[in-house]
Structures are given as structure tokens and as C-alpha cells.
């Protein structure tokens, strides 16, 4: 299984697959998958920033939720009508959903069935 990779403001962070469950729990303390799914086309950006901040801090980043919110705002401001330019925003939402939906990667030492993707194999957040 792959590690969860996170890039924020040009610095790369990583969460090992063996710590992915705990990372998911840290995120779920802020927002659950069901809550995120209920947002639809109206994400709660402050809550999203807090959840991403929790994940980044778990990975070792020294970052405030305010800094994460500012990066989300920049990403949103750069987005065109097709959604291009908002890679950090879209990546962040996708990563959080993958971690929460999958319940974190399997940590039983078993190889997942062919074609099954786990949260850690899909997860990647990248900011500028």
C-alpha cells in the first residue's frame, strides 16, 4: 500500500499507510463523510480548511487552519468555468472523502483484491 502524499505550499508531506487509520480519525473529529456528502455544491470552506489542517498537522506540517483557508481561497479564485486551476481545492476534497469513505486503508497486511483502490493508493493533495 502507498503512503498518503500531501503537498502544501511547495513542501511535501507523507502519512504512512500504517498511520492512515489515525489520520482518518483526526479528520473525522472535524467532519464526517456524511457531512461532506451533504454539502453538495455548497462546501463549508472553513470546516474543509480545519479538516485539511488536521491532516496536514498529522503529517507533520506546521500550518494553521487560517493558512489552509487562504490556500483554498486562492485555489477557488483561480478556478475557471470548467474547474481548472482549483487543483488544491479539488484534490483536498477528494483526499478527505477517500480517507473517510474507505475508512482508511486496510491495515491487516492483506493485499487488496485486484482493481480495489484504497484511500492511500488514491490520495494526493497538492497546493502551489
Q: What is the pLDDT of residues 2-51, one digit of tens each?
A: 678 888 888 988 888 888 889 889 999 999 888 888 888 788 999 999 99
- Predicted structure pTM score: 0.72
- Give the whole-number percent of the chain exceeding pLDDT 90: 28
Domain boundaries, the chain: 4-108+116-126
Scored b (16 or more CB within 10 A) or e, 49-79 reads bbbbbbbbbbbebebebebbbebbeebeeee
What is the 3-state composition of the chain as percent helix, strand, coil, each rounded to the nearest 5?
Answer: 50, 10, 40
Instruction: Choose the weakest-confidence range: 2-11, 85-94, 109-118.
Output: 109-118
In this prediction, residue 97 carries a pLDDT of 76
Amino acid at each position: 500500500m502507498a503512503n498518503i502524499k500531501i503537498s502544501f505550499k511547495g513542501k511535501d508531506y507523507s502519512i504512512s499507510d500504517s498511520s492512515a487509520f489515525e489520520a482518518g480519525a483526526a479528520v473525522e473529529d472535524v467532519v464526517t463523510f456524511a457531512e461532506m456528502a451533504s454539502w453538495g455544491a455548497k462546501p463549508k470552506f472553513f470546516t474543509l480548511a480545519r479538516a485539511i489542517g488536521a491532516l496536514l498537522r498529522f503529517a507533520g506540517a506546521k500550518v494553521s487552519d487560517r493558512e489552509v483557508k487562504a490556500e483554498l481561497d486562492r485555489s477557488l479564485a483561480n478556478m475557471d468555468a470548467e474547474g481548472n486551476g482549483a487543483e488544491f481545492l479539488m484534490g483536498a476534497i477528494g483526499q478527505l472523502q477517500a480517507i473517510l469513505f474507505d475508512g482508511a486503508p486496510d491495515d491487516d497486511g492483506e493485499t487488496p483484491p485486484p482493481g480495489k483502490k484504497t484511500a492511500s493508493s488514491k490520495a494526493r493533495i497538492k497546493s502551489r
